[in-house]
Amino acid sequence: MIAVELPTVQELAHTLGPFAAFVIATFDRSGLPLIVGSVCVAVGAAGGHLVPTVSCASAGMIVGDLVLYEVGRRGGPRSELLRRLLRPLLPLRATARALLRRYPVMALAFGRYVAGAGILLPLLAGAAKIERRRAWAVLILGSLAYVIPWGTAAFLLGQSFIETMQSMSSHIAWGAVAGLVIVIAVFAYIRVRRRARKASNGLANGGPPINPS
């Protein structure tokens, strides 16, 4: 059996330059920005420039998200390919489906901060046949909001960014989950209040009552 040694992030950065950020970000769905940040640091250390590096990383993250969405859409919810892809993420599947059904925009935009959800949510969104234009727009904006600040910070801070992220990885993971829960809770509260206000306005105007549920 022949052993194949994969290149390190530093080797990719020296060989491919900013394009290394594209390659790594296309496959990075780890949740934490440590991996995409590490490749930005490596490209900077290899003499790369900030704007091309972060642009390539953003493009890679976008391509990865859109490919996952299209795979889910073409395969459908009952395809064998989708079942194989989702099998390792089975514990997250029910929660991801519930979030996607009730809060599709928030889940697709910010779910990437939870390990595994960055793979699961685009696949499920495609399988659920969420409108392509809407899903693409949310995934693109979510990718940009994820990569640009973290990639820029990593490039500028260098090795200290990696050391800080490694020392705080568990706290950041829990913080990301808590932040996602808080955002969804606030969004749900605003939505319920808005519907209740519409219902009270309808009663005041003599119209039929509106069910706020």
pLDDT tens-digit series, residues 52-102: 999 999 999 999 999 999 988 887 656 676 677 667 666 667 777 787 888
Closest CA to 107 of 92, 129, 90, 122: 122
SS3 60: helix
Ramachandran sector of residue 208 (left: φ over 0; alpha: ψ -120 to 50; beta: rest): beta
The reply to whether 60 and 85 lie within a common domain is: yes
| pLDDT > 70 fraction of the chain, expressed in percent and rounded | 73
Question: Contact, 98 vs 107, CB < 8 A?
Answer: no
Closest CA to 59 of 25, 34, 12: 25
The reply to whether 86 and 179 lie within a common domain is: no
Closest CA to 52 of 9, 20, 74: 20
Higher pLDDT, 178 or 96: 96
Please tell me the predicted confidence (pLDDT) of residue 193.
74
Mean pLDDT across the chain: 80
The reply to whether 30 and 102 lie within a common domain is: yes
The reply to whether 108 and 31 lie within a common domain is: yes
Please tell me the predicted confidence (pLDDT) of residue 91.
65
Please tell me the predicted confidence (pLDDT) of residue 43.
93
Which residue range forms the structural domain that includes residue 209?
168-213
Question: Taking 90 as the threshold, does the pLDDT of residue 124 lie above it?
Answer: no
Q: pLDDT-based confidence at 4, cuts 50/70/90? A: very low
Q: How far apart are CA 13 and CA 155, in angstroms?
A: 13
The total of structural domains in the chain comes to: 2
Report how far apart, in Å, the C-alpha atoms of 64 and of each of 17, 24, 102, 204 are.
Answer: 19, 10, 24, 50
Question: Taking residues 1-22, what's their average pLDDT?
Answer: 78
| Dihedral angle, C-alpha 191, 107, 68, 23, nearest 10 ° | 130
Question: Taking residues 131-153, what's their average pLDDT?
Answer: 93
Please tell me the predicted confidence (pLDDT) of residue 44.
92
The reply to whether 70 and 124 lie within a common domain is: yes
The reply to whether 62 and 163 lie within a common domain is: yes
Q: How far apart are CA 97 and CA 92, in angstroms?
A: 9
The reply to whether 142 and 193 lie within a common domain is: no
Angle CA 156–157–162, to nearest 5 = 130
The reply to whether 151 and 193 lie within a common domain is: no
The reply to whether 90 and 116 lie within a common domain is: yes
Residue 2 lies in a domain: no
Please tell me the predicted confidence (pLDDT) of residue 213.
46
The reply to whether 68 and 150 lie within a common domain is: yes
The reply to whether 208 and 132 lie within a common domain is: no
Residue 162 lies in a domain: yes
Please tell me the predicted confidence (pLDDT) of residue 133.
93
Tokens read off for 6: 């994969």
Residue 172 lies in a domain: yes
Higher pLDDT, 144 or 3: 144
Residue 1 lies in a domain: no
Q: How many of the other CB atoms lie within 10 Å of CB of 173?
A: 15
Question: Taking residues 123-150, what's their average pLDDT?
Answer: 92
Question: Taking 70 as the threshold, does the pLDDT of residue 8 lie above it?
Answer: yes
Residue 4 lies in a domain: no
DSSP secondary structure of 123-161: HHHHHTT--HHHHHHHHHHHHHHHHHHHHHHHHHHTHHH
Please tell me the predicted confidence (pLDDT) of residue 1.
43
The reply to whether 111 and 150 lie within a common domain is: yes
SS3 208: coil
Question: Contact, 49 vs 18, CB < 8 A?
Answer: yes
Q: pLDDT-based confidence at 134, cuts 50/70/90? A: very high
**Of 167, 183, 204, at which residue does a domain stop?**
167
Please tell me the predicted confidence (pLDDT) of residue 199.
73
Q: How many of the other CB atoms lie within 10 Å of CB of 120?
A: 26
Residue 23 lies in a domain: yes
Higher pLDDT, 99 or 189: 99
